[in-house]
Structure 1
């Protein structure tokens, strides 16, 4: 595999599972040293033991990104060892509920992690990047940021917020040589999708075919994405191959929101 990230240090949030884990593996395969951030300490430790067998390629950093002080402490720790070249905002939660059933706590938790956490980490990391005059930020949003979805009002709103936040960061920090882009997945084979739609072939088929009752048009490519599909898109935008791309939203959804 190409070593596009040799001697690069990249921070990935939400790294313990799903798309975040796939991104972590992809970047390590391409030569990066990854600081893997997540609130799930045990899973992070397991991942670290597995990936560091042949030598140190990642460090697990257990942190609740919804807490600003904890984020700043984690970034200080990382920067004391290595300058951060790239950031992937991958942490996120989804509570599939009809609008009338969403609780105040679920709404707050969604925004505390998806939006406030993304802001805290991005703010803390890019302040260091500004001093060095370079850096890359990629935020994993969702095609639901731009397309209304049934039973996902809090999630859709939060992903719309982080997509626009990332573009605004890129607009302001472009003069410092910092690129900021968004990757917007559609239905992807993760635990989050299983919690919302289940893992059965029948339920996947329903996502692929679409559901008029839910105002979903289906997926023209006739398949659910794998986390690795999203990871490859993230890696591209992080790489020097995308060195003149910023403020872009790369939709990776098999054509579901054409």
Structure 2
């Protein structure tokens, strides 16, 4: 199925230099979107992953994802130079793992800053502009941990759950004005973040699960590739999803055992 409504779209992606974020940028550009790729990393980190033929469609910008002023300025700059922003994807995120009782104040605030406040800032700013025009799509990349307790990830899950709840609450308010808000909830995905948790590229233990940690494993027998998550984002942004809003799409190989 060829997705419609992406070609020529102006999109903004936060967390664009990360594993999932960069896959989303590439997928959008391949589908013909003009993409403003926002990350706290210095410009150029993403460029080496973008094929030469797609580079004219991708503009890198540096910003702290929780900086409200920077969000407003970048959105305004984008609309002046490329046209109305039709899609915002919030893919920025950080990970801190370990027992909940050991979570420091510093780690807690870092998680909320990147994973929750970043969504609050960018989704709110994008929605303000989209509702004036009566159209637009907002997609937040959260985690399947928002719906399933995970040992060692309590604080991370709490920050992603805040982003999830905010996105859907915002979606209720802006739906009458033509703006759709959805959430993609990845499970274990082959990124630097997962490799930090597993100490290398061997994901067999992740796939098999761990009863002692109350993990059921992954029924499909594989971890996701970043492109799997990007494809879900593209679908929710496309015209084929025009009647889908307030939805949480789990891309986790069945790990959350969602009905």
Q: TM-score normalized by structure 1?
A: 0.94
Unaligned 5+ residue runs, structure 2?
Answer: none
> Structure 2 matches for 1:211-230, cutoff 5 A?
211-230=210-229
**Closer, same or farther: CA 3–247 of 1 in aligned 2, 3 Å:** closer
For residues 109 and 246 of structure 2, the distance between their equivalents in structure 1, rounded to whole angstroms, comes to 27
Aligned residue in 2 for 1:134: 135
Aligned residue in 2 for 1:62: 62
> Structure 2 matches for 1:109-258, cutoff 5 A?
109-201=110-202, 204-258=203-257
Could you tell me whether the CA contact under 8 Å between 2:146 and 2:164 is conserved in 1? yes
**Closer, same or farther: CA 162–168 of 1 in aligned 2, 3 Å:** same
Once the two structures are TM-superposed, the CA of residue 34 in structure 1 deviates from its matched residue by: 0.4
Tell me the SS of whatever aligns to 2:32: coil
**Closer, same or farther: CA 105–244 of 1 in aligned 2, 3 Å:** same
Could you tell me whether the CA contact under 8 Å between 2:30 and 2:54 is conserved in 1? no
Deviations 1:46-102 (A, max 9, x none): 348x44546610111111111212222211211222210001110001111211221
Could you tell me whether the CA contact under 8 Å between 2:3 and 2:239 is conserved in 1? no
For residues 170 and 190 of structure 2, the distance between their equivalents in structure 1, rounded to whole angstroms, comes to 30
> Structure 2 matches for 1:31-70, cutoff 5 A?
31-44=32-45, 46-47=47-48, 50-53=50-53, 56-70=56-70
Could you tell me whether the CA contact under 8 Å between 1:36 and 1:44 is conserved in 2? no
Could you tell me whether the CA contact under 8 Å between 1:38 and 1:44 is conserved in 2? no
Tell me the SS of whatever aligns to 1:65: coil
Q: TM-score normalized by structure 2?
A: 0.94
For residues 200 and 225 of structure 1, the distance between their equivalents in structure 2, rounded to whole angstroms, comes to 13
For residues 151 and 217 of structure 1, the distance between their equivalents in structure 2, rounded to whole angstroms, comes to 15
Number of equivalenced pairs:
255
Could you tell me whether the CA contact under 8 Å between 2:3 and 2:235 is conserved in 1? no
Root mean square deviation, CA, Å: 1.6
Q: Which runs of 4+ in 1 moved over 6 A?
A: none
Deviations 1:82-140 (A, max 9, x none): 21000111000111121122110110010011111111001111111011000001101
Unaligned 5+ residue runs, structure 1?
Answer: none
**Closer, same or farther: CA 35–54 of 1 in aligned 2, 3 Å:** closer
